[in-house]
Amino acid sequence: MTQQYQHMKIRHFRDDYLERIYDPHIRELNEYVDELRARKPDQFVPHVSPEFGGREARLLLLTLSPGEKTKLDIAGGSGMLSVENSDPAAARIAEALDHADIDRSDCVGWNMYPWFVQGLGELRKPVQDPYLLEGTDHLIQVIARLPRLRAVFVFGTVPERGWGFFRRSYPRTARSLRHFWHRSTGPKGYIGSVQQQEIWRQELFDAMSAAKQAIDS
């Protein structure tokens, strides 16, 4: 499954997208990323890949924080949030989007905490919560730049807790969006037998198909 995706590890493929991060449809989001980078210059926030729909997106794909492969300075890294990044978490989401017939231009990726933090998902809740709470105020800024947004799809229990913080802080916005959830698509989220992984894969397909119906209705 994963080998037919992960195209960002191909240099010319990656470079083509990097050259277009300020295309009109995605410019506003990536200018916001630039603002976040300027606030914490010693930390890393990936740009949003122009494969996504940007202002035209109807579905928000919300994960916890940037993965290693969003970095440009590592082997196979892209510098961007992309479902074509060279890691199994991205590839599982890409496959589910294709299965549900959701075009990349119909969605956009973001992270509950936009800066890269090694091991954020493994921290204790009292340590994680300040990151998640800070992330809610950045998430509302992202959603404000997505006028056609209809639904949010959250991946993992920790970003789902962050979405809970968001609902409490911005209840009107949260109520306006359909909400979908699936376990983390990263390696730790899919630890299990081959049979169990296939069950989770089908659950992801089903949830993504429901999201497709929601954004089309």
- The CA distance from 105 to 58, in Å, is 9
**Among candidate residues 80, 84, 114, 74, the one with its CA nearest the CA of residue 6:** 84
The 3-state DSSP class for residue 59 equals: strand
pLDDT of residue 156: 97
Which neighbouring-strand residues pair with 173? none
- The CA distance from 48 to 46, in Å, is 6
Q: Which two tokens stand for residue 76?
A: 């196979």
pLDDT of residue 3: 56
Give the count of domains, the chain: 1
Residues 6+ apart with CB under 8 A from 31: 22
Q: Would you say 66 and 45 are in contact if contact means Cβ atoms under 8 Å apart? A: yes
pLDDT of residue 199: 97
Tally Cβ neighbours within 10 Å of residue 119.
7
CATH of the domain at 135: 3.40.470.10
Per-residue pLDDT of the chain (217 residues; tens, 9 = 90+): 555 889 998 899 999 999 999 999 999 999 999 999 999 999 999 999 999 999 999 999 999 999 888 998 888 889 999 999 989 999 999 999 999 999 999 999 999 999 999 999 999 999 999 999 999 999 999 999 999 999 999 999 999 999 999 999 999 999 999 999 999 999 899 999 999 999 999 999 999 999 999 999 9
The 3-state DSSP class for residue 153 equals: strand
The 3-state DSSP class for residue 154 equals: strand
Instruction: Please give the single-letter amino acid code of residue 126.
Output: P
Q: Which two tokens stand for residue 204?
A: 């992801």
Q: Would you say 120 and 65 are in contact if contact means Cβ atoms under 8 Å apart? A: yes
Exposure string of 73-110, with b = 16+ CB inside 10 Å and e = fewer, is: eeebbbbbbbbbbbbbbbbbbbbbbbbbebebebbbbb
Q: What is the DSSP letter of 74?
A: S
- The CA distance from 166 to 162, in Å, is 6
Which neighbouring-strand residues pair with 181? 154
Q: Which two tokens stand for residue 189?
A: 């989220």
H helical segments located in 40-87: none
Q: Report the predicted TM-score, pTM, of the whole model to 2 decimal places.
A: 0.95
Residue range of the domain that includes 137 = 2-216
